[in-house]
Structure 1
């Protein structure tokens, strides 16, 4: 039997309502909340992979401008999806949740072999986190209704890439909950 974990990527104020607002993000909040709450209730670890940039220093800021600066409200998880005691929070300074973070160590210590990767954006941070998850040998599930991107084109391209290149299993949240 597989040991799963839910990875919540960048569901932060700056991406949902702030300076890099994704207008489409509101449609994934309810399904994502349902997934997170059910995971917690069933003892499945919930891990938040959050941008937490250093102002004036991080490479991403050169391209995207200041966003999700560590210690600011913009870098906090949106109120509807706030971490709870027992959840894990992994700050990141690049697109991938694995790059020079504790994510791999946490997953190893938890004995996880399957990742349910959610959040924003399936063509950027979700994509790069999925790439590294693939390199580490994880089975990857991506909920179609709990991840999104700036545009429908970005979403479709991102999801197709996750399937074609990393063999991600795309399911909706209700389908995932059946096997959680």
Structure 2
């Protein structure tokens, strides 16, 4: 079975930077373990990066969330902690200017993954958006989200999004 682990936006600005929140750093050991296990099992590891430019505040997102973050090349844009040390040269990285990545969905479709697991941040924004795109790209693939490997700054919203993910036939594990 062809599988992928997708680490969504586990970047400094979402963990302890401009949009960081208390629960985000607690995901680090869980995500590190998932990457380690995926490599041992020969599962492809993919990374997404929320990627903005200096004109962020003039964008649609910037007008709705006027907090500059993940400016390409900045410290806040880089992957957080030990996760940053786990990227290998063969890993595909997707730099996305918005919540979901069409490029990731197209790559997954071309690779014809049968199973994809998402982890990372933020559950109710980028994890949800990418899960929905992947489900549309590969409707017969099993898509998983580990509840212990994602979080939101709003715990109520996190619980709701796990329900929504289940509703669109994404398998939520470890809830």
TM-score of the superposed pair, with normalisation by structure 1 = 0.86
CA contact (8 A) 2:135 2:143 kept: yes
Distance 1:135 1:108 in 2: 9
Distance 1:62 1:74 in 2: 20
Q: Which residue, 139, 146, 156 being the options, matches 2:159?
A: 156
CA contact (8 A) 1:24 1:151 kept: no
2:104 maps to what in 1? 103
- What residue ranges of structure 1 are gaps of 5+ in the alignment? 174-180
Q: Secondary structure at the match of 1:62?
A: helix
Q: Which residue, 81, 91, 95 being the options, matches 2:95?
A: 91
1:120 maps to what in 2? 121
1:176 maps to what in 2? none
Distance 1:108 1:169 in 2: 19
2:30 maps to what in 1? 31
Q: CA RMSD in A?
A: 1.7
- What residue ranges of structure 2 are gaps of 5+ in the alignment? none
2:171 maps to what in 1? 169
Q: 1:134 to 1:7 in 2, by over 3 A?
A: same
| CA displacement at 1:95 relative to structure 2 | 0.5
TM-score of the superposed pair, with normalisation by structure 2 = 0.89
Distance 1:74 1:85 in 2: 21
Distance 1:34 1:118 in 2: 11
Q: 1:92 to 1:22 in 2, by over 3 A?
A: same
1:20 maps to what in 2? 19
Q: Secondary structure at the match of 2:47?
A: strand
Q: Secondary structure at the match of 1:126?
A: helix
Distance 2:120 2:101 in 1: 12
Distance 1:86 1:67 in 2: 27
Q: Which residue, 70, 73, 79 being the options, matches 1:71?
A: 73
Q: How does 1:41-56 map to 2 (within 5 A)?
A: 41-56=40-55
